[in-house]
Amino acid sequence: MKKIYFIFSLFFIPFILSACLMANLLGVYKKIFKIPNKKNRVVFGSSPILNIKYWSQSLCNAGFLSETFVFNYFDSISERKDWDNVLRFKYLFLPYHLRPFLAFILSLFKYDIFILSYRGYFLQNTIFRFLQADLLRLANKKIVIIPYGSDAYVYRNIRSSSWTHALMISYPDASKKQMIIAREVDYWNRNADAVIPGMMGFDGIARWDVFSPSSLVLDLDDWKATSKIFFSDGFNEKIVIAHSPNHRGCKGTEYLIHAIERLQSEGFLIELLLLEKIQNSKVKQILCERADILVEQLIFTGHGLSGLEGMASGIPTISNLEDETYTLPMRRWSFLNECPLVSATPEDITDVLRELITNPSLRTDLGRAGREYVEKYHGLDSAQYLFENVFDYIYGKKDSIINLYHPILGEYPNRSPKVKHPLVNNRIVDYQS
């Protein structure tokens, strides 16, 4: 069967090359005859990472034609309505293994900017794997790379052995594809017009054009803060702790479970909610209505979408921010000092939880600051700011965007007052209500 699909792949070569040239000529024609372009047409694809939905939504709100286009999606955590285009349901007249070729060809005429992971676009599993950027350039398209996770991690380049071990637990298949991943990272770094990693995407990729702790965003009109009043100290009423371990090895879930058991043995009334394989809408409801604390991750440094969801919900949120190899540059050249995430590790998560549980006013202050932080840096308007600056950069209107979020030189951190919170380097120090 593989040989048959390989032969059919060869059949698409002249069609793909012709489409690239035609797309290029169409662009030249528009320039010569000064045909006005609407705002750049953007596609996010083709991995079904939930945040591309929010990125695309932010650009639509700003007047762009922006769509998501994914192979498939995870039924356990998202819904069909979350995605504009799903290859699984398109071009049904073709065998599935041939649909990526048609999707790629048609995309050349529909979009100007391709915002992708290091795996690339729809030709990532074909003989064109390491020609995707060249073909997009031939069609005069712009390429922006945002790493999502395992696509960017070249294990031999990672500076933290704890990270490496956690990745091997959570992404065992990736450890067998390291040569391919390393080639993809190098290939797209050479050929992308811009690379936008977050804190956890910096390790070993050797290129970034924007420097920020995270470019993840949420629709804050849809994600409401809790109306709960924090008064329980873990003895007079139950404390609910939420945790979304999509990859337990990276999240350090077993250490959290052990910490909860220890605190329960001390007499604390605690319930741990493991939000695994649950629709995002349900997670939203639980964080807003039931949870008192969210624990994101204890192994990896930084945070993902779950950490933003906790802060957006107005509840204190815990994540590991200990490794200065990653955090110090983010404090010095970006806006991490404003982030009210409470740092914890497997070694001290019990103590950190105990401090939060027994101090309701601290939880209130952190919840308020967390909401302010995501409103400033992680709403749809912040995504608009990021991408509009990135687009100016890739089209030559700006020479550099490396200091876009610099605490002194950057415009954005100074647009509104600094987010104040009671933490020092994301640690609780001599808190007084």
Residues recorded for the chain: 433
Three-state secondary structure call for residue 228: coil
Contacts of 73 by beta carbon, 8 Å cutoff, 6+ apart: 48, 79, 80, 82, 83, 86
Per the structure, the count of domains in the chain is 2
Q: Evaluate whether 67 touches 43 at the Cβ level (below 8 Å).
A: yes
Which of 112-116, 174-178, 243-247 shows the highest mean pLDDT? 112-116
Task: Flag whether pLDDT at 218 surpasses 80.
Answer: yes
Query: For residue 370, what are the domain limits?
Result: 239-378+422-428
Written as one letter, the residue type at 243 is H
Task: Flag whether pLDDT at 1 surpasses 60.
Answer: no
Side-chain half-sphere exposure of 322, counting CA atoms within 13 A: 17
| Structure-block tokens of residue 152 | 């960017």
Q: Confidence band (pLDDT; 50, 70, 90) for 198?
A: confident
Q: Is the peptide bond before 313 cis (omega within 30 degrees of 0)?
A: no
Rounded Cα distance between 84 and 146, Å, is 19
Considering only CA atoms, give the Rg of the chain: 23
| Residue 231 lies inside a defined structural domain of this protein | no
| Residue 216 lies inside a defined structural domain of this protein | no
| Residue 181 lies inside a defined structural domain of this protein | no
* Residue 83: its H or E element: none
| Residue 433 lies inside a defined structural domain of this protein | no
Task: Flag whether pLDDT at 104 surpasses 80.
Answer: yes
Task: Flag whether pLDDT at 351 surpasses 70.
Answer: yes
End-to-end Cα spacing for the chain:
67
pTM for the full predicted model: 0.94
Q: What is the mean pLDDT of residues 398-403?
A: 97
Give the pLDDT score at 180.
Answer: 94
DSSP-assigned states of every residue in 8-60: HHHHHHHHHHHHHHHHHHHHHHHHHTTPPP-SPEEEEEES--THHHHHHHHHH
Q: What is the mean pLDDT of residues 39-55?
A: 93
| Residue 234 lies inside a defined structural domain of this protein | no
Rounded Cα distance between 37 and 31, Å, is 9
Nearest alpha-carbon partner for 41 in 89, 95, 110: 110
Task: State pLDDT tens for residues 254-302.
Answer: 999 999 999 999 999 999 999 988 888 899 999 999 999 999 999 999 9
Q: What are phi and psi of 359, to 5 degrees?
A: -130, 80
Q: What is the mean pLDDT of residues 194-208?
A: 88
Three-state secondary structure call for residue 275: coil
Give the pLDDT score at 433.
Answer: 66
Rounding to the nearest 10 degrees, give the CA dihedral for residues 185, 189, 192, 197. 80
User: Helix 360-377 and helix 349-357: axis angle, to 10°?
Assistant: 100
Rounded Cα distance between 389 and 134, Å, is 24
Written as one letter, the residue type at 213 is P
Q: What is the mean pLDDT of residues 350-366?
A: 96
Task: Tell me which of 226-230, 309-313, 328-332 is least confident.
Answer: 226-230
| Residue 303 lies inside a defined structural domain of this protein | yes
Q: In 10 A of CB 40, how many CB atoms? A: 18
Give the pLDDT score at 334.
Answer: 96
141 and 250 co-located in one domain: no
**Which of 145, 165, 197 lies at the terminal end of a domain, its last residue?**
145
Residue 63: alpha-carbon gap to chain centroid: 23
Q: What are phi and psi of 312, to 5 degrees?
A: -60, -30
Give the pLDDT score at 32.
Answer: 75
DSSP-assigned states of every residue in 208-226: -SS--S------TTTSPPP
Give the pLDDT score at 34.
Answer: 63
Q: What is the mean pLDDT of residues 317-346?
A: 96
CATH of the domain at 334: 3.40.50.2000
| Residue 306 lies inside a defined structural domain of this protein | yes
**Which of 145, 176, 192 lies at the terminal end of a domain, its last residue?**
145
7 and 135 co-located in one domain: yes
**Which of 111, 145, 179 lies at the terminal end of a domain, its last residue?**
145
| Residue 74 lies inside a defined structural domain of this protein | yes
126 and 250 co-located in one domain: no
What percent of the chain has pLDDT above 70? 96
Q: Evaluate whether 326 touches 302 at the Cβ level (below 8 Å).
A: yes
Rounded Cα distance between 88 and 68, Å, is 14
Q: Confidence band (pLDDT; 50, 70, 90) for 5?
A: low
Give the pLDDT score at 202.
Answer: 85
Task: Flag whether pLDDT at 365 surpasses 70.
Answer: yes
Average pLDDT, the chain: 92
What percent of the chain has pLDDT above 90? 78
Q: What share of the chain is helix, strand, coil (3-state, %, to 5)?
A: 45, 10, 40
